[in-house]
Structure 1
Amino acid sequence: MRYFGDHKAGLTKLPGTTTGNAALLDAFTGHQAPTPEERAGAAPLLLFRAVSRNGRVRGFVEFLIDLSAENDQVDWDWITARRSSAVSDQEALAKAPRAWREWVKRGHSALPRVRRRVARARVTKVRDQRPAPGSGRDTDLKFIYAQFDGRKHDFEAVASAVAARVLRGSGHNYREGWITRRSGDGGADFVGRIDLGAGLAGTSLVVLGQAKCIHPDSLVSAEQIARVVARLRRGWIGIYVTTGSFSEPAQLEMVEDQYPILLVNGLDVARELRSMAWDDHGDDLAACLDHILHAQGVPITSRRPEEILLD
């Protein structure tokens, strides 16, 4: 967080003597206190940002300390207790969030554990990447996996088709390129291209695709995603399509390190392929897969990925 203070340009007061800055400097002393007893008296600084919820833009806040143990809520009795001179610091501390109590007890060494990791908000739990057991999506995913278990190269064509549908569905001008050969693929399973703008006001991005047909209960690790990212050059993005799920540590690393890669999990694969079957094959999933493999027309070649920019 960056605080610019209330010492505005043109003031003749000394820095730190304005009301707001003086208050924060006083609070800073408490936050740097070396003992738990002194830290218990430190003024809580509740930092938050406005967020939208259920279509409403205003009226909701997200706190920037870890309140997961309190279901992202602050017990206002804590603030009320802090305001009362009749309540001791230790009595007020009992009403504080777990993260605050941990900091008071252990000091700055506790900060890595109690800081809110905002990136976690962009992490999808593994259970939410899988179809509900016994559902139609679950049946579809198991069918897809059974069709390509032991035929991993054939799944690359399916992954390319799914990637194309995902990217076009989000409004991108995406073009499928080719499926790479089994050997000498340089780590890519399929190649595509996103075109942005037109003429002098346009550019194209190479899309490097990874396909992984694994058991629907299996997880893709951070190391597996990092290996794909390591092959990306400037101006390239990656897309990882799997019948499994992405581990939460893998997603967190992707978000925090700002990897330029899209993740398509098993639930997404089942959903997109069923949608393709409904649109073009009379809702026959087997016919849809057969069409992708034998009639889609995406070539298999050993060309270098950057050559797609010349097509």
Structure 2
Amino acid sequence: MTHSPGLARALLEAGINSIAEVPGPDRTRRPAVLLRSSPWKAGSAQTPWHDVFDLDNGHIRYYGDHKVGLTVPPGATRGNSALLEAFAIHQAPTPEERALAAPLLLFRSVPRRGKPKGHVEFCGLGIIERAERVVQWGGREHTTFVNYVYDIALIDLTAESDAVSWGWIDARRDALLTSPQTLASAPQAWQEWVKHGNSSLPRLRRRVAKARTTKVKDQRLMIGTSEATDLETVYRRFDGHKHDFEAIAATVAARVLRGSGQHYIEGWLTRRSGDGGADFVGRLDLGSGLAGTSLVVLGQAKCIRPDSLVSAEQIARVVARLRRGWIGVYVTTGAYSEAAQLEMVEDQYPIVLINGRDLISELRGIARDDHGSDLPACIEHILSASEKTVTNRRPEEILLE
């Protein structure tokens, strides 16, 4: 995978493996540094440190190669020297300097067929955010020694399907190409980092949770479609009568939860005052008998303009009301910001999000099944049926029914 015809092979024999520098037309550059972590060695006399690979959150804490008994300064060992050199350019203030920066390609040993070593997996493309001198214990006599530890940000490779083209590294090894010319084959996030610097790392960092979010544009209906017209009709019907929208939200939430094959019991709508932040209450039954349990469902309805967004703070207020054994449902005519979704996934909020696109899809389904596809008639039927379900009870009372 790392073979370049006519050039020395890039190896992973050591923990820190530098590809030889290239005298490019603009300036000398190092094509890449390959880092390997061997978890099975961690804590041993030879390798007393424990590297941290938090791939889900795009963070790696990697220890340098200084060891007990070495007489050279900690930053003078081959590996630390290469990483400190890379760190200096990773902190460069201009795009021209950052174009020279050596990419870090990270690997770690993983078990295979019962063996703890001998097989490595690619873990991502990194940029050094921080280098720190630390004092460690090591060797058979557990004496102290000074080493370096590096905090590395893994950047997002979603656009490249979590892969890095070795052709990019080949280009960086080509002495006839300038550093800016080699960027054409670099991953998209690397190009963005070269352009904008470390201030862009928060949005470029690899976050597995991002894969479980939906872009705002994908939550929106195409203007001019019948679905978009229906959603606008629903919004206008309840704008100024948003308490009535709670009945619609409760009905849609029930349909969504039942659609997943679960047994859902509709409870009641809360009164306008004293609702404690909940608009409707239901119960989700899982299993049966001794192998079953019931969850309180706390619902929030938010009728907003279809082009508006629900924020992370608004969702957090609903989550703050949840107790152990409760889940939340948030129903809106708008969409959810990506920041709100990301916080929900990362903090593992037990909440179901139903946006305007899904809302109108479910309402149209109800209208088709029960009202001959007459959406206004469907809405009025839901409202008339909900009048007797408004009450001021405690949510946990649903478990007694």
Task: Say whether the 8 Å CA contact 2:37–2:107 is kept in structure 1.
Answer: no
Equivalent residue number for residue 269 of structure 2:
179
Equivalent residue number for residue 343 of structure 2:
253
Equivalent residue number for residue 237 of structure 2:
147
Whether 2:322 is the aligned partner of 1:232: answer yes
- Aligned counterparts, 1:54-203, within 5 A: 65-67=155-157, 74-81=164-171, 84=173, 94=183, 96-97=186-187, 99-100=189-190, 112=202, 114-203=204-293
- SS of residue matched to 1:35: helix
User: Relative to structure 2, which stretch is displaced further, 145-154 or 204-213?
Assistant: 145-154
Deviation digits for residues 145-183 of structure 1 (CA, Å, limit 9, x no counterpart)? 122122111111110000001111112211111101111
Task: Say whether the 8 Å CA contact 1:81–1:87 is kept in structure 2.
Answer: no
Whether 2:105 is the aligned partner of 1:44: answer yes
Query: For the structure 1 residues 158 and 201, does the alpha-carbon distance in structure 2 shift closer, same or farther, using more than 3 Å as the test?
Result: same
Q: Whole-Å Cα distance in 2 between the matches of residues 289 and 262 of structure 1?
A: 22
Equivalent residue number for residue 304 of structure 1:
394
Paired-residue identity, %: 62
CA shift for structure 1 position 65: 2.6
Which of 67, 82, 91 aligns to 1:30? It is 82
Number of residue pairs matched by the alignment: 288
Q: Whole-Å Cα distance in 2 between the matches of residues 108 and 133 of structure 1?
A: 38
User: Relative to structure 2, which stretch is displaced further, 68-77 or 284-293?
Assistant: 68-77
Q: Whole-Å Cα distance in 1 between the matches of residues 102 and 376 of structure 2?
A: 67
Query: For the structure 1 residues 185 and 65, does the alpha-carbon distance in structure 2 shift closer, same or farther, using more than 3 Å as the test?
Result: same
User: Relative to structure 2, which stretch is displaced further, 233-242 or 108-117?
Assistant: 108-117
Q: Whole-Å Cα distance in 1 between the matches of residues 45 and 174 of structure 2?
A: 32
Q: Whole-Å Cα distance in 2 between the matches of residues 215 and 106 of structure 1?
A: 34
- C-alpha RMSD of matched pairs (Å): 3.8
CA shift for structure 1 position 136: 1.0
More strand by share: 2
Question: What TM-score comes out, normalization by structure 2 length?
Answer: 0.61
User: Relative to structure 2, which stretch is displaced further, 171-180 or 91-100?
Assistant: 91-100
Query: For the structure 1 residues 88 and 274, does the alpha-carbon distance in structure 2 shift closer, same or farther, using more than 3 Å as the test?
Result: closer
Structure 1 residue runs of 5 or longer lacking an equivalent are 17-23, 48-60
Q: Which structure ranks higher in relative contact order (CA pairs < 8 Å, sequence separation ≥ 6)? A: 1
Q: Whole-Å Cα distance in 2 between the matches of residues 37 and 112 of structure 1?
A: 15
Q: Whole-Å Cα distance in 2 between the matches of residues 192 and 300 of structure 1?
A: 13
CA shift for structure 1 position 99: 4.7
More helix by share: 1
Task: Say whether the 8 Å CA contact 1:78–1:92 is kept in structure 2.
Answer: no
Structure 2 residue runs of 5 or longer lacking an equivalent are 1-35, 48-63, 66-77, 92-99, 109-121, 125-153
Equivalent residue number for residue 358 of structure 2:
268
Task: Say whether the 8 Å CA contact 2:106–2:123 is kept in structure 1.
Answer: no
Equivalent residue number for residue 53 of structure 1:
none
Question: What TM-score comes out, normalization by structure 1 length?
Answer: 0.77
